[in-house]
Structures are given as structure tokens and as C-alpha cells.
Structure 1
Amino acid sequence: MAMDVINKFYSTVHTTVSQLSGVLPGNNVTREYEVLEQVCTAGVGLMWKVYNGYKKSTKQEVSVFVFEKKMLERWAKDDRESMLETLRRGVQQLTKIRHPHVLTVQHPLEESRDSLAFATEPVFASLANVVGDAVRSDKKLYDVEIRHGLLQLFDGLSFLHNDAKIVHRNICAETIVINKNRSWKLFGFDFCIANQPSVDGKSFWPCREYSTSIHVLAQPSLEYCAPEIALNTINSPESDLFSLGVLVFTIYSGKPLKMFGSDYSSFRRYAADLNQRKYPSMNSIPSELIESLRALLHPSPNMRPQLHELKQIVYFQDVGVKTLSYLDSLYQWDNLQKSKFYKGLPQIIPTLPHRVNLHSILPYLVKEFINSPMIPFVLPNVLLIAEMSSQKEYCEHILTHLKPIFKLTDPIQILLIFMQKMDLLLKLTPAEEVKLHVLPLLYRSLECDMPQIQELCLAVLPTFSNLIDYNAMKNAVIPRIKKLCLNSTNVSVKVNCLISIGKLLEDLDKWLVLDEILPFLHQIQSREPAIIMAIIGIYKIAMTNTKLGITKDVMAHKCIPFLMPLCVENGLTIAQFNTIVALIREMFGRVEKEQREKLEQLSTIQRENKPRDASEILATELEKGTGSLSQGAKANTSLTNSVNSDDDMFSGFSISPPTKQSSAASQGIQQLKLKSNNDALKISHTSSPKPDILSSLMNSNISNLSNSSSPKSSVAPTSAMSPIVNPYTSPGSNVTSPNQSHTTDAWTNNWHSANPLVMNHQLASPQANNSSNNNSSSLDKLNPFGGGNKSASVQRPVVNYIYPSGYNGSGASGISNGNSMSSLNNMNNLTPLIPQQNAAQKQAQDNKNLNTLSQQDILSFLN
């Protein structure tokens, strides 16, 4: 029955967290402490439930031990009273003892109608919770933890026996508590006995014999009791050593040597067997510990080794164990001894389990943060552990302790270490904490007065630039680097500023470089060769990086004018000079190449979009019809010389003076080509007119032109041209034939334009004296066909209205027709080729079309 009770209490390790709402409200512990979730169980029969909590006033983390009285309801009244008395006595005794390896009580025992409760330092678990096959893997103990924990128990027991003169009497897995820092602490002083003076002066501990009439949970556990208690009724510190041996066996094998429950007679038989050195199998025990363990389990108390002797065995000579043991006694060392230890710690930390580093080593290290001279020795170890931690572990266990250190600038090694591990800090620290703590550390490093720190910060900054927010880089980091470069008097700092900026260029965008970085280079007044070469490096990176690429305009206006004076600075070596010149040449080459390509593209676009004028079109068409123009020179039309060459109406027309000697078609073609090549009085326009407008203009402006001064050489267009209307006749003139001529007087008296494009009041009157053969006429100088024939009689020039061939009316064939001017010798005989009736109808239709056009449309076409 008793065994079932014990097993039931063992099973509470895995039970659901109980609700404290009906247990603790009446307990005074709840006034000062906030109770959270249950973490473990401890004490005799694991009756104490341990909860996480914190003190309401200071937020200090604690563990709250709670015993619920309702658990005793199944027992008899006498047993309940004895059990409660045992629990009260154990906590009271624990409160009196102060030692690093004895559980520390933060708040004494408080009792209410429903519970007993007290508060202690934060607790991880009891040893019974982490020993055995049913323990979760994340709670199983590492070998180094077991060895270090046993050493801690040795120290705690040594203090009890030698200093406090107390025998624990119940050393077992339930009464060993592991705190948050994974230190093993003595607990469960329910059955402890203090020494009493004897007659001979020796220490004496009275023995209380085991009684079957008392509840099993109200007496020490028989599984851990020494055999001399049952056989000889002797109780001594060596009895605790036997219990310690059973504990070691239980840790490695998962259970004690033998289970007795409340069967005291069975325990006595077992004690007799131990007198004969009959031990169970120890296959699970490490080989270097077996002999010492058998010595601890020796039936004779005098044959058991002392605690200080056990510390010297090989089992405890592990490097990790020694490291953890040194940390336990760290408060006894001076700064010189501590510094030596901390220097070697980075080689040991990687060899230890991460949980050991995080929970056993780190707490001792962060305590040194209050010792300013030791921070440079401790901080690398803390950051090494952080490097092995997850972000959650880092935030919970490390970041809180680093925040005050971020603000320190003395000793300067602190900033040095942080700069070297800045990538780690930025990776693990949450974004909000980075803005609040890490980046200000970076800014302080750039703004400090020590060049060593400034140079170090500038050197390591580019290595983690991709982890810095872009806005912080643009608005905080870059401006501080620029300010430091401009204000520092140290050339090395200036050079490092420029080198740092050069390395940061790849993480910046094009516009930030163009707007902030390149103009900043012009502000640097120093001209030391090292600074100049750093500037050249920035320009080189900015020019060659495809993402940043300096434009040709920036190079032409800003870069090259700034770089040229640097070539002639004193102190440059030939290699440095060559580097600067090579960069300038490269920039100039790029400017030249890009500008040439741009101009060629613009020229091509302008050529493709430029409109063709009438002379170009005529030259092209005439070249096509060269074979059929053999005799056309004799039939060239001519007009009087009285037409002003600067008239708006004729600004786009060609002027061909008549010549008596142009009898060959080749001479006519030569004259027309010459006129085209000289670009004389072209028609220029920006957009092609509509076909109907152009057709009307052709048929109205090219009909019936005649030469009044030379009736015998009246103008007759070729078969490819439409009927011509004389624009110089009055509206009332009766023009019925293209061959009809007019006298000079009639032509002069009726000086009105039939072309609506030319306003009559704007036309100048022709010269009255047209009969004179004066070769010094004002238009002679403008005659492109007069050539050197000065002996020819002065005649009025013939105005040829030349239009693109594709816009001819349907009544007559244009220049673009296949017939294209059969012969210039037949130009005076146009009438037989075109019926007179059809010509008159065509003329009437053209005049009608012309009248319907607005003056603005026609002017738009000609302009």
C-alpha cells in the first residue's frame, strides 16, 4: 500500500498543472509574489509543487513551493499532523542555512488553511524529475552536468558536516534541487539532526530508529539509508556518504540499489548482505567511478572515503568539470586570475553542450559586467555563446544583460569587441532593439574622439552593411562618415572614411551616390596622395559598377573637371599619376563614345523625318526621264523679268530665264539640275498637303502662262504637264488657249494676280520700261541660268510651277506618268495632244476647286 502511494507521488512529475485559484488566495505569499505555471515537484514523496513566479514590487524572478493540504486527506489524522510538522520543520531549517549549494529561501514559509507556501531562488527541477527512462530528452542530464553537480553536492555536504555540524539523513533524488543556472542544491532538511556535545568532546548525532508505526513519508527513505542505522543504530556524517553513493548509482541506472518502501525487515536483510560486500551490477557506472562508488557503499562507515578525497579522483578531472568548478569559486579570485581564466575560456566553450554554456557558464559571466575592467575579457565569451544560440535564447538570456554594456565607451576594448561582432548583433537582435541599442552604439563609435575606435568602426562597417536598414544607412550612417571625414585632422581616419564609403557603394542606389557621395568628394580639401587615391577609387567603383554607372553628363560637368587638377598635385608617385590619368582617359572615352552615338542617332532621325522639297523631287524625276529629254532645251518657257524675286508668292518656285541658245535637251536638263543643286527659291513645308488641295493648286497656278515680251517663244508645257493659266492676267481676261500671248502694255496695265495665294496689294508693279535691253537688270544677278551669256537679250524669266508628280489631276498625265515628257521639241504643240474641249472643262473644274479652298489652308501648305 505504501509503495502505491510513493509511485503515485512519483507520477505527479508528469501531471497537469493544478489550478491554484482555490489553494493560494488565502496564503500570504500571494501578496508579494505573482504565481505562474508549475515547473516541477520536489521534497519527500515529491509533495511540494514548484511554480514559476516573480516578486510584484521588484519583478525579481522566483520559484514558489506549494504544498496542498488536501493531499493528506487520505491519511489518518495522526499521520497528517506528523507529516505537516515534518514539512514545516524542513523549511524552517532550510531558511536558517546559507550556502551556495544549499537552496536559497527568498520568502519564509507561510501557512493558510489550505496550503503551505514559501519562495526560493528560481528552480529548474528536482533531481528526481530528470533521472530515469521516462524523462524527456531535453531534460536529460549531460555527463559533464552530473560530474559538476556531484562536486557541488560534495561542497554542500562538506559545509553541513564540518561547519553546520548537521547530518542531512535523507540524501536522495527528491531532496536535490537543480536551480535555473543548473547548480545542484541541497533541499529537504525534514529529518536532519544537529550534533550534540558528548562527554569526551566529540561530535555526537543521536540516531532515530526507523518506526513502522509512523507513515513512510514521515521518515527518511529506506532506499537511501545506511546499513549501520538498522544494524547498529548509529548515525553519523558517513551515513550521508552512503546515501550519496546510492544517489550516484540512481543517477546512472535510473533507480536505487533496491526498493523497500515501508518494509523495514527487508531493509535489514539487505544491510546484512552489504556487510558481505554483495553489490548489484554496476555496468551503467563510468569505469573511473566504480571503485569510488563501491567505497562509498562500504558497510563500515570508517572505510568510506572523505569528500575531499573523492574530489581528487580521475572522474572529476575533466576540463569541462574543472571549468565549471572554477566558475563556482570565481568570487575568490582577483582580477589578474580572472583575466587569465577568461582568456582561455573561448577554447573550452565550443567543447561543452550548448545548454551547459547557456545555463551554467553564462550566468557567471554576466555577473562580471559590474566589474568594468573585466568586461573586455568576459564579453568575447558572452558573444561566443550568443553565436551558438537561437534568437529566442539570445533575447531571453543574453540581450537583457548586453543593453547596459552597449552604452559604455570605456574601456575602449568594449567598442572594439562589439564592432567585430556587429554582424552577429544585427542578426540576432530584433529590429526594434537594433534601432534603440545597436545602431546608437555604431554612431557613438563614429563620433568618439579616439581614432582607433573610429578606424575600427569604419573597417568593420562594410562587412554588415547589408544588415542595416536603408533609411538608417542614408540618414544616419553615411552623414556621420562624411562629417567624420571632413572634420577629422587624422589622415588615416580620412582615408578609412573614403575606403569605407567605397565599400558601401554596392549597397547604395544610383541617386544616393550621385546626390550625396560624389558632391561630398568635392568638399574634401586635403590633397595627400593617400586621400587622392581613395577618391580615385570611389570614382572608379562608381563608374564601373553597372548598378551605379555615372552618366556622361555627370562625368563631363563634374568628374573630369574635378579630377584634372588632381593630376598635378605634388607628392604623387608615377604609379599614382598614371592611375589618375588612366581614369580621366577612360571617363573621356566614355563621354566621347556615348555623345557620338547620341549625335549619330539624332542625325539619322532628322534625316528620316526631313520633308523633301520640290527641287529634290524634280531632280529625282528628271534623272528617271533623262532618255526622253534630248531636245527639251529649246522649248523652255520664259516670263518677264519684272517679277520680284523676293515675292512671297514665288518663294518656293524656280525661275528659268529664256535663252535662244538652249536648243539641246541636255542643256535644259543641265539647267534644271543646276537649279536644284543651288536650292534656288525652294518650296519648303513641314507637312504634306492633302491631295485635293495640291491638285487644285497645280491646276490653277500652272495654267496659261505666256511671255509677253517674246510672243514667238510662248511657253508650252510638255505632254506631261497640265494646261497653264497665266497668273498675270486680270480676272476679266479671256484666255481660251494656252498658246495665246499678250502685249507688254496689256500685261502691265492688268497687274493683278489670278492666284489667290498672292494678295494683289502686296505685289510690286513691274517696271514700265520693259522694252529696254538693259543687261544690268536687278534680276540678272539672281538668274541661275544666265551663265556667262552676257550678249543675250534681256527677257522676262519664265516661272515654272513645279509640284510633286504624285498629286496630278486625273485629266492630264503628271511627271510621274510613264510618258514623262516625250520631247521638249513638241512643247509648243500641246493643243493637238489634249482636246480643246477637255482642257476648257478641266480649267473650269480646277478654278472651281481653287475657289473653294480657304486662304489659310493654302498658306499653310506653302509655309
Structure 2
Amino acid sequence: MSGMFGSIGSLFATGPRLRYDLDERPHDARSLGRWTHAGGTSRESGERVSVFTFRGDAQRDARALEIARNGVRRLKTMRHPNVLLVKETLEVETGSEIALHVVTEPTTPLETHLREIARGGSDSQGGEYLLLGIREIATAVAFLNNDCRLVHGAISLASVVVTERLDWKLWGFDLCSELDAIGHGANGDAKLIHGAYLVPDQYKPEEFRRGDWVSIPEGPPWAIDAWGLGCLIQEVYSGGALRGTDQLREVSCIPQTLLKDYQRLLGSQPTRRYNPKKLIENASLFANKLVETITFINNLALKDSIEKERFFGHLPRVLEQLALQPVQKKILPMLCDALVFNQAPHQAILPMFISAQDIPLEAYRKIVIPTVLKLFENPDKMVRLDLLENLSRYADRVPDEMVDDPLYERLSTGFTHADSNVREMTLKGASLLVPRLSERVITASLLRHLSKLQIDEDPAIRANTTICLGNIAQYLSEATAKRVLLNAFTRSLKDAFPPARLAGVMALEHTTQYYEPAEVSQRLIPSLAPLLTDVQKDVRVRSFQVLQIYLESLKRHSDALEQGPEAAAAHVEREQKKGHANAAKKAANVLSWAVNMAASKIGGPEEDARAQVDLTNERLMAKSFSSAAPPPKLYGESPRTSTQNTPAVSLGPSPAKAMSSAYDSSRRTIESAAQKVSALSMNDDFNDEDDDADGWGDLDIVDPAEQAARERLNSRTTSSSARVQLPRTNSGGMKKSTSDGWGDGDDDLFEELAPPPAPKPSIPSTAPRAGLSGARTMGSSGHVGLSGARRPLSSGSLGGLAKPMGGVKPPPMKLGGGAKKPQADIDLEAMLNG
């Protein structure tokens, strides 16, 4: 055995060196023999470890060194969950002194650990934890005695250490010997005989104390270690080292449930001593919540899906009844490991966060955050929904350098998920992260995703996107806010879904500081005015209120203009500063306007009986985005289904989704023609996937000749109400978004989603021009396509030219189905020259 460590030392030309820095003060708990126990830190990785060291003179302590080497060899070759795991061993020879180093995972001597528990005060659940620790050591002893036919020989408080996860582990294998080798007596190689002096007499049964080596192999292999296990139980419950054999008769500190087994372990006759295997099989002894919980998690691989779902559905309530330390240091790491290795279902995510809610920040970032980031890569939809649902529990604990990447980068993949619930919860999650996101990520990624969601097929998501954009406006740069907000909010005013229109109106009301007077008069008010006759009362009433706010603002600006341009500019600057100051004051209640919208009734008279939502004491974000989680499921409750596009049970319907349902039930009151136009526009125009255009309506194709004719028409029009803003085009005729999808603020990007109250008559067209040759058709959205006829113009576009043309009412254009084939295009030259 001495050659083992000698060979290690011969691998290094200059001799081996310990690669760890030891703590100045080692643990003061007792150890077997001359072993010392100190904490250490790796010089290479900074990893914390424990280092057990034995020092002796090569000549004087030859026998002690031989026994210590036996302990190192046994510990290295022993593989069991309840036996201390060795990372590295090293033997260093300095002159005549030899040092044996055993490097393990970080541990604390059990004696020290028990003192810490006592200092922490009495814990009503502490008895369950102590029973769990005894069970773990008994499991290791039963493995040695029954499976390996080995005798440890030194079971006591000094041979048990506790890991950071509160696992009790057995070490101190110096005297470990084969049972048959003991029968050879002093002439054999059994270290139990040669090192018997290292064990105090109170830890020895009678046959061991008198050295009856012949009778020991004739008895059961657990006879010596069963006695030591009884001594350990006495030490654990009395809180210190065993003073003498008489102390074993003091049973007042032993729990009644354990008393009978304790007495059997200390039987006077070796053949009648209790087998540690029977101790751990005593179901009534370990029938408590802590042991059952940990045992179930340890055996997850043997459980079926129904058992797992029932267990984890009930676990949040169980955790409230368990001792805090075992939950945080033992159950939490086990849950994280089970989730990462895909052994636990998605229902285990909530218990994981509950277990971690009060742990220190450093431990949270070490244990929980890596698990969360790993779970975001899981393709299971339910896993992602649970992560998003609990985002508020961990978002503020993510280090600043990890918010942009990897957290947001992994979360943002949910914006394009096929399931609408995932998209909506991702929207909510992004709004929580915005205060910590960099301007680069907000502009280059988040705004582009929001532009896509504002034309989502799910109307609730469109409404919530506007709400989200209104809430994050304060975190945008001044230039980005002025370029994006007005385009986005005026677009939502033309949505077919009433709550989306109402969200746009309220967003305009709470972002007044971002709009110049010219934008208000030329774009905002013309976009808001049609809602004064909206079919929904809530939309009309709020539109009048918002319109009044902006009219009063324009009046104040007009008064300032009378004093000159400089005074007007100063007035605008004061108004904007005042708006930002008011926004800062309302920062703590930033979602109040969204909640008010959520509480509105939108279904008409039949919806007046709906109960009002109590918004006073609820979290505003939860009410706006449906993040309130129900109480944990009990055994027997059905789990959430994983069918795609089916809302999760734990996700309550968002206010926008509830309004969407009410709107569906009452939409018969809305003109069917307007609904068809809106549906066609939504399904065709705004679902085009284009990497360069981000879904903000910049995909119209405009003929160059038609564009030139419109420009000439605008140049002849003197009335400002007849001016038509032309979409800018690239060289290919396709409008293109170059940044976040909201454009530069000089075009109406959502015109095609406005359902007209009635079809408008069109101006008759002439024969197709030579450049088109009938190559245009009208797509389902009403845009000019590439192979046929053209749609009738909406009231917001060229159809509004009737008044500037002198009030002549043109005949309507037929769009197919008649005997006469529609013309391919409108001849604006004839209009100009007519």
C-alpha cells in the first residue's frame, strides 16, 4: 500500500504539490486518529473543497501511516451515495515527514453541524431532518455489512460529515476490514485489529473491547457497526460526543419512535443485534413528510408520469410544512437536477422557485439561474409557460451581464412560438425585463418582435402588445420613442378588435410628451377622429376625452406661437418635460390605465351583468397579462394538457382574452362587411414573413407611373384635407422597414385594417397602361397584387378625393362576378386632365 502513494509522488520530478490553498483555521471537531479537516480553495478554478490531512514520521509512525493509507484506499474504491466522494489524493514527503492529503467535496463535521443547528434555535421540524441523516448513515453501514461483508469499525460522530446539500456521509475507513480477515487475529492483515487503539472504549461492543477476534467472524457482519450506529444515535440527540458507556442508558433524549430500534442496536449479544438494513426498512420510523419527499425525488426514474404529476402538484403545500434548511439546501438542488436531466415534469418548476425564494443571492445565482437558462432550451411548451409564469420570481436576481444574453435571447424565441399562450406570456415577460435591457437589444430585437405581435392573429395579443409598448415607452430613447410610438398607437386605432382600439386610445393619452404639435394636428387627431363614432361606447367615450386633451394642448401651443417661434419651441420643451415628470411620478402605478381597460365591459347590453374585477389589491401586471397562478394541485387533480394552442390550466385568461370572448359573442352587432374586410386584411397582408420588413404594413407594391400621377395630383391640390401621403418605395417598388417596423412617422401604416362603415364608390378606370398589361390582381387583403385587378379605395386613401374634385359622385367600381370584366388600374392621368 505504501507503494501506491510512492508511485504518485514519482510522477513529478520535483515532487507533488497540493494545488489547494487551505483555510487558516481547520475544523475543531474530533477526527479519527491524527486526521485534520480543513476547508480549501482550488488555485486554478476557485472551487471550494475539503482537505483531510494525516501527518506522521516515516520511521516512528510507520504503523499509523499504514492504517491511514488503508483508509485512503478504501475511501477511493468505495462508491455509494452515502459514502464521502474523493476528488483527489496526494502523498507528500518532506524529509522524514509524510503527509497524506484527501481532497473531497466541501463538507462540515457532523459535530460542528449539530452545534450550528443548536445555535439556530429549536425547530419543530428538526426531528425529521435528524431522522433523515441517521437513515442515510444506516444505509451506508448496511451496504458495507450486508453487500460487501466489510466492517467499518469506527462508526461515531467523528466518522460522519455533512455536505453543502445536507447529505450525511460516512468516512474514516482507516479500520475498515473484511470480516473473514478479522478471524486471523494479530497475525492477519485486518486493520481493525492493528488499529483498535484508535477507537475509544465507549464505542466498542464487549467482544471488540476484549479482543475476541475468533468469535467476531462467527457472528453477523453488522455486529460491531450496529453498536457504533447506536452510539451515533445517542450522540446526535444528545448533541455531543459520547462521554462513556453509561450514557447509552440515558434514553430521555431519544424519540419514542426510535427507542426500540435504538435498544436493539445496542444488544449485549452480537447475534441478536439489529441489522441496520432492517432499521432503514422500518416504514413507520421514517414515515414523515421530509423523508417521503426526498425518497420520492431520489426515485423519480422509477415513477410513472401520473405519480410524478400528483406528487409535484401537492409539493408546494408540503414545502410550507418542512424545515427551512433541508428545503433550501437539500430539496432545492435535487429539484434542479431532476428538471435539468428531464426526470421531473414541468409541475416541478413552481416548487423549485418556492424552495429558493429566501436563499442568499449568491446561492440563488449558483443553483437556480443556471437551471432556468437550461430549461429555456427545453422544447416542451408547458415548461416554457411555467418559466414565463414565474418570471417575476427570478428576473431581478439574474446578474446584469446575463440579462441581454443569455436570458432575453432565450426568452425571445417565444415571440414566434406557434402557441398563442406562449406568445402572450413572452410578451409579459419581456415587459418585466425591459428596465434592465440595453438600448441595443430593445431597438434591434424587442421592437421588431412587438411590431409582429401587433398584427398577430390572436386579437388579445394585439391589444396586450399596445399595452406593453405604452408601458415600456419610458425606457426608450427619445429618438426611438418619437419614431415608433405614434405609428404603433395610431395603427392600433384601426384594429377590428375593440379592446385593441381602446388600448391605442389610452396609450396615446399616457404618452403625450412624445408628440410634436405638428404630428398631433396632422396625424394623431385625424387618426383618432374616426373613433368618435365607434360602435363601442367605451372606445367613443375615451376617444372624446383624449381628443379634448390634445385640442387643449394645441390651443396652448397656438397661444405660444403668437409670441414667436422661440416662445413656441420653449413651450413645447416645457410641455414635454412636464409629461416626463408626470410619467415618472406614475412609474409605481404604470399599468393602471391597462387595468382600467381590462375592467371595461365591451359586449353590449348583454354583458352589463358581468361581475366587475376587484383591481385594488391585485398585482397590476398579473391583471393585465393573466400571470396569477392558482394554488398547487392536490393529488388526483388532472394535469394541464399539452395540446397545442390550448391554454394552460394555471394561466387564467387575460383581460384581453376575456374581452375577445365577449366580443365574439356580440360581434353580430358589427357590420358584416367591415368584419370581412378586416379579416381579409389581417389574414393576408400582415402575415407575410419577411426578414427585412417586420410586419408594420410596409409591404405594399406601388406602380411607379401611379406614384408619379399621385404626386402631380397632390401638387395641384390646394386644400390640406385633400393631400395624400404617398408610401416611400425602394428601387423594387416594395416598401421596406429598416429598423423596428414603425417607420419614420410620416405614413399611415395601418390603413388597411380599418373596417369602412360602408363601401365607398370608386372612380371609373380607363384601359390598362402598356406597362402593366393586366399583370395586377387584387389580393385577399385589398392590396394591389401582381396579376389582376385592383381593390376599391378605402375612405382613408384616394376615395377621399371626391370632395376636392368638386363633389361629383363617380359610379361604383365592380370587383368581379359581373359580366363586365373590371379594369386593371385607375387612370390618374385622366383625373388630372379631366
Sort the TM-score into its range (normalised by shorter chain): 0.5 to 0.7
Deviations 1:290-322 (A, max 9, x none): 443333333233554343443437553221122
Aligned equivalent of 2:146: 162
Distance 2:109 2:479 in 1: 63
Instruction: Check if 1:248 corresponds to 2:233.
Output: yes
Aligned equivalent of 1:91: 72
Of 110, 113, 123, which residue of structure 2 is paired with 1:130?
113
Residues 54 and 63, structure 1, Cα contact 8 Å, conserved in 2: no
Aligned equivalent of 2:35: 47
Q: Which runs of 5+ in 1 are unaligned?
A: 1-23, 198-203, 260-269, 606-863
SS in 2 for 1:316: coil
Instruction: Check if 1:292 corresponds to 2:261.
Output: yes
Deviations 1:701-748 (A, max 9, x none): xxxxxxxxxxxxxxxxxxxxxxxxxxxxxxxxxxxxxxxxxxxxxxxx
Distance 1:25 1:194 in 2: 29
Residues 447 and 454, structure 1, Cα contact 8 Å, conserved in 2: yes
Aligned equivalent of 2:367: 397
Residues 312 and 348, structure 2, Cα contact 8 Å, conserved in 1: yes
Of 407, 413, 418, which residue of structure 1 is paired with 2:382?
413
Root-mean-square deviation (Å): 4.3
Aligned equivalent of 1:501: 469
Residues 201 and 209, structure 2, Cα contact 8 Å, conserved in 1: no
Residues 552 and 591, structure 1, Cα contact 8 Å, conserved in 2: yes
Q: How does 1:434-583 map to 2 (within 5 A)?
A: 434-463=403-432, 465-468=434-437, 472-473=441-442, 476-486=445-455, 488-505=456-473, 513-523=481-491, 527-530=495-498, 531-543=500-512, 548=513, 553-567=518-532, 572-583=535-546
Q: Which amino acid aligns with 1:368?
A: A
Q: How does 1:419-438 map to 2 (within 5 A)?
A: 419-438=388-407
Aligned equivalent of 2:584: none
Cα gap change, 1:118 to 1:282, in 2 (>3 Å): same
CA shift for structure 1 position 115: 3.2
Q: How does 1:795-810 map to 2 (within 5 A)?
A: none
Q: Which amino acid aligns with 1:538?
A: A
Normalised by the length of structure 2, the TM-score is: 0.56
Cα gap change, 1:46 to 1:182, in 2 (>3 Å): farther
CA shift for structure 1 position 419: 2.1
Q: How does 1:47-446 map to 2 (within 5 A)?
A: 47-52=35-40, 63-70=50-57, 77=60, 80-107=61-88, 110=91, 112=93, 114-117=97-100, 119=102, 121-131=104-114, 142-196=126-180, 218-230=197-209, 233=212, 234-235=215-216, 236=220, 237-259=222-244, 280-311=249-280, 312=282, 315-334=285-304, 336-372=306-342, 374=344, 376-406=346-376, 408=377, 410-446=379-415
Distance 1:84 1:138 in 2: 41
Q: Which amino acid aligns with 1:254?
A: G
CA shift for structure 1 position 125: 1.9
Aligned equivalent of 1:816: none
Cα gap change, 1:431 to 1:370, in 2 (>3 Å): closer
Cα gap change, 1:134 to 1:155, in 2 (>3 Å): closer
CA shift for structure 1 position 208: 7.1
Q: Which amino acid aligns with 2:488?
A: F
Cα gap change, 1:284 to 1:557, in 2 (>3 Å): same
CA shift for structure 1 position 386: 3.2
Residues 506 and 542, structure 2, Cα contact 8 Å, conserved in 1: no
Greater relative contact order structure (CA < 8 Å, 6+ sep):
2
Normalised by the length of structure 1, the TM-score is: 0.55
Deviations 1:508-557 (A, max 9, x none): 677654432012334569630333233222223334xxxx3856544322
SS in 1 for 2:166: coil
CA shift for structure 1 position 451: 2.6
Deviations 1:819-841 (A, max 9, x none): xxxxxxxxxxxxxxxxxxxxxxx
Deviations 1:265-303 (A, max 9, x none): xxxxx6xxx7xxx95434433344344333333323355
Distance 1:331 1:32 in 2: 42
CA shift for structure 1 position 85: 1.3
Residues 158 and 307, structure 1, Cα contact 8 Å, conserved in 2: yes
Distance 1:469 1:85 in 2: 62
Cα gap change, 1:227 to 1:30, in 2 (>3 Å): same
Q: How does 1:714-753 map to 2 (within 5 A)?
A: none
Distance 1:375 1:493 in 2: 28
Count of equivalent residues: 542
CA shift for structure 1 position 165: 1.2
Q: Which amino acid aligns with 1:555?
A: V
Deviations 1:365-422 (A, max 9, x none): 232244347362343333333322221122233334444334x151123332332233
Distance 2:323 2:459 in 1: 47
Cα gap change, 1:396 to 1:516, in 2 (>3 Å): same
CA shift for structure 1 position 151: 0.5
Deviations 1:755-803 (A, max 9, x none): xxxxxxxxxxxxxxxxxxxxxxxxxxxxxxxxxxxxxxxxxxxxxxxxx
SS in 2 for 1:445: helix
Aligned equivalent of 2:758: none
Aligned equivalent of 2:774: none
Greater radius of gyration (CA)? 1
Instruction: Check if 1:36 corresponds to 2:21.
Output: yes
Distance 1:288 1:373 in 2: 34
Distance 2:504 2:369 in 1: 39
Cα gap change, 1:573 to 1:128, in 2 (>3 Å): closer
Deviations 1:565-597 (A, max 9, x none): 34567xx335544443454355435544x3675
Residues 27 and 110, structure 1, Cα contact 8 Å, conserved in 2: no
SS in 2 for 1:517: helix
CA shift for structure 1 position 244: 0.9
Identity between Structure 1 and Structure 2 (%): 18
CA shift for structure 1 position 184: 1.7
Q: Which amino acid aligns with 2:529?
A: M
Q: Which amino acid aligns with 2:279?
A: L
Residues 446 and 480, structure 1, Cα contact 8 Å, conserved in 2: yes
Cα gap change, 1:130 to 1:562, in 2 (>3 Å): closer
CA shift for structure 1 position 100: 1.5
CA shift for structure 1 position 122: 0.5
Distance 1:563 1:335 in 2: 54
Q: Which amino acid aligns with 2:547?
A: I
CA shift for structure 1 position 428: 1.1
SS in 1 for 2:80: coil
